[in-house]
Each structure stands twice: as structure tokens, then as C-alpha cells.
Amino acid sequence: MFTLSPVVSLTLRIASVTSKNIGIIHVDRHADIQEKDLDERMHTTPYFHATNIPNVPAKNLVQIGIGGWQVPRASLKNMRDRQTNIFTMQDLEDFGMDKVIEMALEAAWDGCDAVYMSYDIDSLDAAFVPGTGWPEPGGLLPREAHKLVGGVAKEGLCGMELVEVSPPYDVSDTTSLQALRLIVETMGSLVSHDKMGSHKDIIDKEFTPF
Ligand SMILES: [Mn+2]
């Protein structure tokens, strides 16, 4: 028995009740796509395992904000081998947020009927999120992040997770407030674009607990 990270367990559950393909948009400073870390399937590995699910194609994985310290060679090799999509912080600078959102949606939805969003709070600049395990300088500003999640959600989501908030490290609940606001922005965008619950059409299989 091993513990599945949220993106693996949630996408596995969603993927198990549909015959359709699911894309993932993942916002993080870290790619987290190596097979193992210190011989374990832990927090730097979930996108390797999530994209092993047959109806979660690696070509529909879009990772935005990548560029932190913890992106080891094993991850880079898997990105290249699996032809995933990476937008670094520099890409955001060069293309601008609107263009990155447009390209991310195009890649994630290509051949898919639903998109799942995974959001790591360490994608925000370290200045805004003291309560996280691996803070990184040079990340997103909060208002950029709000625009990003709102833009990603406008075409609908079959699920969302917000990870890496660590209350014991937090200061004045700053990190929790940032995380909450990102969830509210996402849900607000789903509502204002009339997409709340729009993924339900993809459910065409019985859920079997595992
Ligand atoms: Mn991270």
C-alpha cells in the first residue's frame, strides 16, 4: 500500500468514471514528473504517474510557472520523452498571460473532453506564501495567478486541487488566504462562464471504489 498524491488519486477517480480523455493544467514552480524521488513515489513525482493513466494523455499535460530549483534531470528527460507542454516564468514574461492561457487551453483540451487543474501554492513568489514546503523566488504575483486560474477555468473543469499549503509554516494565515482566494477565483470564473458542473456529461461509467 502506498499513498497516492492528490493529482494521481483524484485524476484516477475521475478517469475511472469516463471513457473520455482528460487533460491537466498544472501550475507550479516545479515539474514534479520524475518517476521516483529518494526511491519513493512522493511529492516530486505525481505527473509521471498521473500521465500513466490511459485516458490522461501526457501530450495534454500543460505545466505553467516552471523554473524553481527542484526540477532535476530525470524530470527533464520525462518531459521530453512524453512531449508534455511547459511554460516557464520566462515564457509568461515573453508571451504574456493572455497568450499563455490561450496556448495552455489549446494544448490541454486537444482531443480531450475535460480538463483538471492542479495548483501548487509555491507557484506564487516566495514573498507571498511563507507557508509552503519549498518556497521559490521569482514566481507569480497574486493578481497574475488570479487571472491565470480564471482564464483556465473559463472553459470548464472536471476537478481542481490546491496543494502544498503548510499551515505550521504560515504567517498570519497569509498562505491560506492566497490559496482560498485562488479557489474562489476559479469557482467564480466557472459560474460567470456558465461552466459549473459542465463536465458531468463525460461520466459514462460506474464508479467502483478502490
Ligand atoms: Mn512546487
pLDDT digits (tens, 9 = 90+) for 23-66: 999 999 999 999 988 888 777 888 999 999 999 999 999 999 99
Q: What is the pLDDT of residues 114-146, one digit of tens each?
A: 999 999 999 999 999 999 999 999 999 999 999
User: Domain of 66: which CATH number?
Assistant: 3.40.800.10
Q: How far is the CA of 208 from the centre of ligand 1 (A)?
A: 31
Q: Report the percentage of the chain scoring pLDDT > 70.
A: 98
56 in a domain, yes or no?
yes
In a domain, 14, yes or no: no
Residue 173, domain extent:
22-201
Is 17 a domain residue? no
pLDDT digits (tens, 9 = 90+) for 69-117: 777 788 889 999 999 999 999 999 999 999 999 999 999 999 999 999 9
Task: Give me the chain's average pLDDT, please.
Answer: 93
Cell of 52: 500513466
Q: Ligand 1 centroid vs 28 CA: distance in angstroms?
A: 5
Going by pLDDT thresholds of 50, 70 and 90, the confidence category of residue 1 is: very low
- How many angstroms does the Cα of residue 76 sit away from the middle of ligand 1? 15
Q: Are 18 and 116 in contact (CB under 8 A)?
A: no
- Total of domains in the chain: 1
Average pLDDT (180-194) is: 98
Q: How far is the CA of 45 from the centre of ligand 1 (A)?
A: 11
Rounded mean pLDDT of 10-32? 93
Is residue 62 one of the residues assigned to a domain? yes
How far away, in angstroms, is 5 Cα from ligand 1 center?
A: 13
6 occurs within a structural domain: no
Q: For residues 66 and 31, is the Cβ–Cβ distance under 8 A?
A: yes
Query: What distance in Å separates the CA atoms of residue 76 and residue 167, rounded to the nearest whole number?
Result: 31
Distance in angstroms (rounded) separating the CA atoms of residues 113 and 162: 22
Does residue 40 lie in a domain region? yes
Measured distance CA(148)–CA(182) in Å, rounded: 9
Domain contains 13: no
Helices 97-109, 142-153: crossing angle, 10 deg rounding: 30
Q: CA-to-CA distance for 51 and 27, rounded, in angstroms?
A: 16
Ligand 1 centre from 124 Cα, in Å? 10
Residue 2 C-alpha cell reads as 502506498
Q: pTM for this one?
A: 0.94
State in Å: Cα 29 to ligand 1 middle. 5
Residue 7 lies in a domain: no
**86 neighbors 93 (Cβ within 8 angstroms):** no
